[in-house]
Amino acid sequence: MDATPSRRRFLTATLAAGAAVTAGCTDALGSEGTERELELHLSREDGPLHESFVVDLAETRSPDDEDAFAAAVNGEAYTTQYRRPFYSTAEDPKYVEHEGTYYRLGAVVVDEVAVTRPVLRLSTVADADAEDAPDGIAMEALPDADRRAVRVAYFAARARGNEGGAPQGLVQRGGYVYRDTDAIAASELLGSDGPDHVTHRETVYAVEVTRERFHEPVYRATAEPVAESPERLEAILRAKFVDARFSREDRSQAARDVLREAETDGYSEPHPYSDGFREVLVALHERAYLDGNIEKDAGIERGRRMVLYDGTYFDYRLRFTGGTDA
């Protein structure tokens, strides 16, 4: 049997090898030839977790939270429209200590209400110093509620001009939604004789006010007892947030160096990764990153990720920089 490979076999093997090399380069390099790297950041959490998650109701974002908690503990219904009591979610839970017991704060949707709300939208007209720029009231001359509305509507207008993103949760329906009764009553922008233009950041914007229908949830505040000691609450929080646990003694010197640099300035490497970086990824249970191709096999966004390293909590973040993910 002739051991010499045929020309067809040779070409097939050569093309396959070339494709593999090209695929590897595409995986590591972006469209502009910049090298893609995986970056690890560690952020130290000062103190035990329960100190970050237990809140003082007198200092929370809503002045009604104390009343909401008192009602929930006594088995009474306390409801809010649109605003979630305590701003406590599964991703960012809040707890409170009351008479030696720790309660998990929350809310459930119990109804829906249809309501009409004023919506402020801004659109760019001209630079404030342009000769043909119309006169506009300065944002600083408006009432407090209007100033907030202009700041938020400005983000939406800026995003439409592709000059920056709009913050989620603030911008709604391409502008700012007035929900506070006192703010609506005090507003100059919402009045029938309100200004047609407003000036903000050296730009004149046209003012558009519409009144639109919203269907808003009604929340009932909840408070569930979960622990009788800070140690028990700490265990609950560890179980929820900590993905990995290991000590310095368990890691090689190369892995320790990676972790130390990740905490200071962040640590990054192109694929294929060094032994030290691979060891860290395995210890974090992030094996899907090892082949450098996580977008195809494990690219699902996750919430907060934490590691307990040598008895200290760290938030950690993994992201690609450079290449196609820049």
Domain count, the chain: 2
The per-residue pLDDT for 22 is: 39
Q: Rounded to 5, what percent of the chain is helix, strand, coil? A: 35, 35, 35
Find all residues with CB under 8 Å of 266, minimum gap 6, and list them: 39, 40, 41
Indicate whether 258 belongs to any domain.
yes
The per-residue pLDDT for 169 is: 74
CA 308 to chain centre: 22
Indicate whether 71 belongs to any domain.
no
pLDDT digits (tens, 9 = 90+) for 200-240: 999 999 999 999 999 999 999 999 999 999 999 999 999 99
The per-residue pLDDT for 162 is: 66
Q: Model confidence at 160, in pLDDT bands (50, 70, 90)? A: confident
Indicate whether 140 belongs to any domain.
yes
Q: Domain check: are 128 and 210 in the same one? A: yes
Residue where the block lists tokens 């307990």: 308
Q: Domain check: are 184 and 245 in the same one? A: no
Indicate whether 135 belongs to any domain.
yes
Q: Domain check: are 204 and 264 in the same one? A: no
Beta partners for residue 113, in sequence order: 216
Indicate whether 244 belongs to any domain.
yes
pLDDT digits (tens, 9 = 90+) for 267-310: 999 999 999 999 999 999 999 898 877 765 544 456 789 999 99
pLDDT digits (tens, 9 = 90+) for 125-144: 999 999 889 999 999 999 99
Closest of 147, 120, 129, 119 to residue 204, by C-alpha: 129
Indicate whether 182 belongs to any domain.
yes
pLDDT digits (tens, 9 = 90+) for 164-204: 666 677 899 999 999 999 999 999 999 989 999 999 999 99
Q: What is the pTM of this model?
A: 0.74
Q: Domain check: are 315 and 263 in the same one? A: yes
Quick check: helix, strand or coil at residue 167?
coil
Find all residues with CB under 8 Å of 290, minimum gap 6, and list them: 273, 278, 281, 282
Indicate whether 188 belongs to any domain.
yes
Indicate whether 32 belongs to any domain.
yes
Domain of residue 268, residue span: 26-46+240-325
Q: Domain check: are 252 and 287 in the same one? A: yes
The per-residue pLDDT for 85 is: 93
